[in-house]
Structure 1
């Protein structure tokens, strides 16, 4: 096991590139090739802490705050609209459900914990999984409408907290990857191989539900 204590923007590319290579092997039916592909990131465990990168302005009166009403289908729409790219750091995203499918296939090498418990989950979840964040924070009365939502990596969302984008420190954004779809094209193949050779982490119907949300049924190389 390798304990990971910090995450940097270059880790986003490292994890995304590694999983992209593994996904190509999986689509071609090469389980051992996929296992070899993930070796550079295998057996990592997240042991660090993430802190807010900005001090948020005062929030609205708690009585005026709206309930968290962002549904999974809306989250999927936001991620697709933003081309599976974090709108803060500019890095590529891979949906949590796709990462879970990788963990189903490689439960020891790429561990998953539904509550993101430190020491029990791979850092790729923090670095790559997107969240539909409120541009105008929920804590400040922001709504769950799509126009007020944006895609952020889980780690970027934690660092943002309730701040506005303008209150965050600037980062050097990577060049946008055209045609990036968060490995959704490989998702069905990863699920199928995990069912045959791995260990299911999620409830029955989890992957099928997210496949419907993303409306991606075809299997193509990423």
Structure 2
């Protein structure tokens, strides 16, 4: 498929080089038309995200690699900021790479821009890095395969340890994002009886 699209471009450029602008436009319109990507807003609560991460067993569904509860990463940054820096916009020169590699996020298996639904049946846990790479493409376009969910009893993304850490270091609750992840994580730890 990809090579046939290149052939359309070859033909379009040949038409353009021959001064046949209308023919170039026609072949693009017919064989490789512009389809604008629809941007649909989405926003998840911390609770919804944590529920999805627990459902998927803190496994990156696109690679099978383990991911870590976001609250843990923020707690590490609060406690040892020089060794594990955090930057609100995750600038790679200022923020530890673990945020890109190990921080879970929700991705739409079938992108919203291609008609995918915005609900748990179309959500997959993945790293921020892979989410950024995938963008508005399908798994097929990326050459990726959806991996099996993990078993939360085998790997909980350090969630239980996170709850214990926050309960021992109560000052961490002063950080809003840590407090939000703590509340949602504690509820999930209890629900899954970890």
Bin of the TM-score, shorter chain as denominator length: 0.5 to 0.7
Supply the distance in 1 between the matched residues of 2:189 and 2:51 (Cα, whole angstroms).
16
User: Which deviations, in whole Å up to 9, do the C-alpha atoms of 1:104-141 show, x marking residues without a partner?
Assistant: 11111111111101211001111100110011112224
State the shift of 1:211 in Å. Answer: 2.2
Equivalent of residue 177 in structure 2, options 181, 189, 206:
206
RMSD: 2.8
Superposition map of 1:50-199 within 5 A: 62=38, 65-170=39-144, 179-192=154-167
Counterpart secondary structure, 1:101: helix
State the shift of 1:194 in Å. Answer: 5.2
Of structures 1 and 2, the one with the larger relative CO (CA 8 A, separation 6+) is 1
TM-score when scaled to structure 2? Answer: 0.67
Gaps of 5+ in 1: 1-57
Supply the distance in 2 between the matched residues of 1:154 and 1:192 (Cα, whole angstroms).
27
Supply the distance in 1 between the matched residues of 2:91 and 2:37 (Cα, whole angstroms).
31
Q: 1:204 to 1:129 in 2, by over 3 A?
A: closer
Range moving further from structure 2, 182-191 or 162-171: 162-171
User: Which deviations, in whole Å up to 9, do the C-alpha atoms of 1:175-196 show, x marking residues without a partner?
Assistant: x676100000110233356556
Count the aligned residue pairs.
Answer: 153
Supply the distance in 1 between the matched residues of 2:117 and 2:174 (Cα, whole angstroms).
29
Q: 1:216 to 1:81 in 2, by over 3 A?
A: closer
Higher share in helix: 2
Q: Bigger radius of gyration, 1 or 2?
A: 2
